[in-house]
C-alpha cells in the first residue's frame, strides 16, 4: 500500500514507481552558464540548456528475423534501400528490414506513455535522444453504435416472436468492463505492443492518476457530504422542475407538459448526469434536436452544464489494469506536471510522454507520429431509415475500383484519406485533421499508398519552437 494525498492507494506488487531522472537534474541551482529558461519544445539550436540541435526522426530497423534493432538515420536508411540491402516493411512510421545478417548491439530505450480517455501520448527516449514521439486519438463513437445495435436487436426480436428469451442465462465474468472502456484499455495495450515490434524497448513507464470526482465538482465537500448527492430527497424530474422554476428553460412557457432534455445531447458526448439535464416543452425539445443549448441560442443554459467526468472515471477504472497487463513501471500525474513545468514545456500529450520517459536535456525529434482510430468496416446490410415505398436502402458500398474507406492515397502529390466513396468512382478526400481536400476526386487520379487498418496515420513535422519565455 502506498500513501498519496492522504489516501491509501493499492499498488501492484509486480511493479514499482518509476524514478524521475528529470527531478534530479532540475533540483540543481541554476547558474549563469546554465539558464533556467528553456524553449517550449526543448528542441531548437538556440536551446541554452541542452546545447543540441533538433534532429530528424530515426527510422525503425528490423533484422532478418523481424526483430527490432536500434533505429538509424534517414540518410543511412535511404542508402541501404538503394543498395538493395534492406526493404520497406511499413510506410507509417517508415520501417525497414535488413536482408542480410548484422550485428545487434542495442542501447536502453525507455517508452513513456501518457494514458488518456480520448488521446494517448507516447515518446521513445534513449540516454541522449528522443527517437520518435506520437499521439493516438481513440474512437468516441462506440457507445452510440452500441445503442444503435441494441435498437436493431430489439426490433428484430419483436418480429421474431418465436425466439425464446435467454436473459436469465447471461452473466458477466470477473473483471468485466463496458465495451467502450474495454476498447480503450485494449487500445493502450495494443499501442505499446506495436511500438515494441519496431523499437527494442527495454523499459515502459505509464502515468497513472486517481480523481476525486465529487471534489472536482465541489472543492469544499467533506465528511458526510460525500453520502449526500445533488439529488438527495428528490426524484430526478421533480428536482429539475424545482431547479428550472417549472417552466421551459428555452421558451419560458408554463402550465404545459414538460420533458426532461439533455443540454449536451448524448449523441454529442453528453451524459445522463443531472447537471446535463434541463426541462423543456415538447416543441423546443424537438426543434433543438442534436444541437447543444449554445447552438440552439441559449449559451447561458450551456454554462450550467458541468464538464463531463468521463475521462476521470475512465482513469479511476483502468489505471491499474493497464499497469498489471503490461507489467510495467508507473509514475503519477503530479510528478509529470511538476517536471514539465520546470522544463518549460507546453501542456500536450507528447510533451507529457517525453517527461514520463525521463526526458530532460535530450535532443527532441523533429517529427510527431499522428494517428486516429477509425471504424474498420460498417457491416450493416441496410440503412436504418426507410425510403419511399417503405423500403430500406442498401448500406454504403464497401469498395470501388480497388479503393476502400480510409485508405491513404496520393492525390496530385498530396497525401490524404478517403472519407467517402461512390459507385461512380468519385471519392471524398480529407486530411488526418478532417479538413476537405476534394469533394469528388476521380479514382484514376488517385494512387494507393496504404490500406486502411483500423486507423489513419501520418508523420508530421513538429511545430516551430516558441521563443524564450
Fold for the domain defined by 14-139+179-211+311-372: Nucleotidyltransferase; domain 5 (3.30.420)
Output the tens digit of pLDDT for each of the chain's 469 residues. Answer: 443 333 334 444 444 455 544 443 333 333 333 333 333 343 333 343 333 434 567 899 999 999 999 999 999 999 999 999 999 999 999 999 999 998 888 899 999 999 988 899 999 999 999 999 999 999 988 888 888 888 888 877 777 666 666 666 667 788 888 888 899 999 999 999 999 999 999 999 999 876 555 555 555 555 554 454 555 545 778 878 877 888 898 998 888 889 888 988 887 778 787 778 888 999 999 999 888 888 888 888 887 776 666 676 777 778 888 898 999 999 988 899 999 999 999 999 999 999 999 998 899 998 899 999 998 877 777 777 777 777 777 777 888 999 999 999 999 999 999 999 888 999 999 999 999 999 999 999 999 999 988 999 999 888 754 433 3
pLDDT of residue 142: 86
CATH architecture label of 230-308: Orthogonal Bundle (1.10)
Domain with CATH 3.30.420.40 in the chain: 14-139+179-211+311-372
Domain with CATH 1.10.30 in the chain: 230-308
pLDDT of residue 432: 92
Does the domain made of 382-453 have the CATH classification 4.10.520.10? no
Cα 413 from chain centroid?
29
Domain with CATH 2.30.30.30 in the chain: 382-453
pTM: 0.73
Amino acid at each position: 500500500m502506498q500513501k498519496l494525498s492522504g489516501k491509501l492507494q493499492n499498488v501492484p506488487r509486480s511493479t514499482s514507481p518509476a524514478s524521475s531522472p528529470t527531478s534530479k537534474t532540475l533540483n540543481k541551482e541554476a547558474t549563469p552558464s546554465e539558464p533556467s529558461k528553456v524553449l517550449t519544445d526543448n528542441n531548437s539550436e538556440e536551446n541554452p540548456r541542452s546545447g543540441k540541435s533538433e534532429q530528424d526522426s530515426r527510422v525503425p530497423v528490423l533484422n532478418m528475423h523481424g526483430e527490432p534493432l536500434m533505429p538509424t538515420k534517414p540518410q543511412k536508411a535511404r542508402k541501404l534501400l538503394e543498395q538493395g540491402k534492406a526493404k520497406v516493411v511499413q510506410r507509417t512510421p517508415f520501417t525497414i528490414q535488413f536482408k542480410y545478417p548484422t550485428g545487434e548491439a542495442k542501447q536502453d530505450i525507455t517508452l513513456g506513455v501518457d494514458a488518456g480517455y480520448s488521446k494517448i501520448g507516447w515518446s521513445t527516449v534513449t540516454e541522449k535522444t528522443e527517437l520518435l514521439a506520437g499521439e493516438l486519438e481513440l474512437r468516441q463513437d462506440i457507445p452510440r453504435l452500441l445503442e444503435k445495435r441494441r435498437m436493431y436487436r430489439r426490433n428484430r426480436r419483436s418480429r421474431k416472436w418465436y425466439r425464446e428469451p435467454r436473459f436469465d442465462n447471461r452473466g458477466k465474468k470477473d473483471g468485466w468492463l463496458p465495451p467502450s472502456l474495454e476498447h480503450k484499455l485494449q487500445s493502450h495495450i495494443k499501442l505499446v505492443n506495436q511500438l515494441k515490434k519496431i523499437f527494442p524497448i527495454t523499459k515502459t513507464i505509464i502515468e497513472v492518476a486517481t480523481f476525486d470526482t465529487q471534489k472536482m465538482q465541489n472543492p469544499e465537500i467533506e465528511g458526510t457530504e460525500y453520502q449526500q448527492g445533488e439529488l438527495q430527497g428528490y426524484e430526478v424530474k421533480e428536482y429539475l422542475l424545482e431547479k428550472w422554476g417549472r417552466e421551459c428553460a428555452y421558451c419560458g412557457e408554463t402550465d404545459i407538459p414538460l420533458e426532461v432534455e439533455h443540454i449536451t445531447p448524448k449523441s454529442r458526448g453528453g451524459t445522463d448526469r443531472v447537471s446535463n439535464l434541463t426541462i423543456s416543452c415538447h416543441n423546443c425539445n424537438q426543434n433543438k434536436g442534436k444541437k447543444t443549448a449554445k447552438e440552439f441560442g441559449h449559451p447561458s443554459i450551456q454554462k450550467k452544464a458541468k464538464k463531463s467526468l468521463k475521462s476521470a472515471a475512465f482513469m479511476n477504472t483502468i489505471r491499474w489494469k493497464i499497469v498489471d497487463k503490461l507489467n510495467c513501471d508507473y509514475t503519477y500525474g503530479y510528478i509529470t506536471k511538476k517536471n514539465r513545468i520546470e522544463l518549460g514545456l507546453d501542456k500536450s500529450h507528447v510533451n507529457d510522454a517525453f517527461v514520463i520517459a525521463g526526458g530532460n536535456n535530450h535532443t527532441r525529434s523533429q517529427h510527431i507520429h499522428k494517428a486516429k482510430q477509425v471504424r474498420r468496416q460498417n457491416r450493416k446490410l441496410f440503412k436504418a431509415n426507410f425510403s419511399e415505398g417503405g423500403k430500406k436502402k442498401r448500406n454504403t458500398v464497401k469498395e470501388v475500383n480497388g479503393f476502400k474507406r480510409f485508405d491513404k492515397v496520393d492525390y496530385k502529390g498530396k497525401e490524404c484519406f478517403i472519407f467517402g466513396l461512390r459507385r461512380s468512382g468519385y471519392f471524398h478526400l480529407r486530411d488526418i485533421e478532417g479538413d476537405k481536400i476534394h469533394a469528388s476526386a476521380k479514382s484514376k487520379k488517385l494512387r494507393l499508398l496504404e490500406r486502411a487498418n483500423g486507423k489513419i496515420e501520418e508523420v508530421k513535422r513538429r511545430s516551430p519552437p516558441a521563443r524564450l519565455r
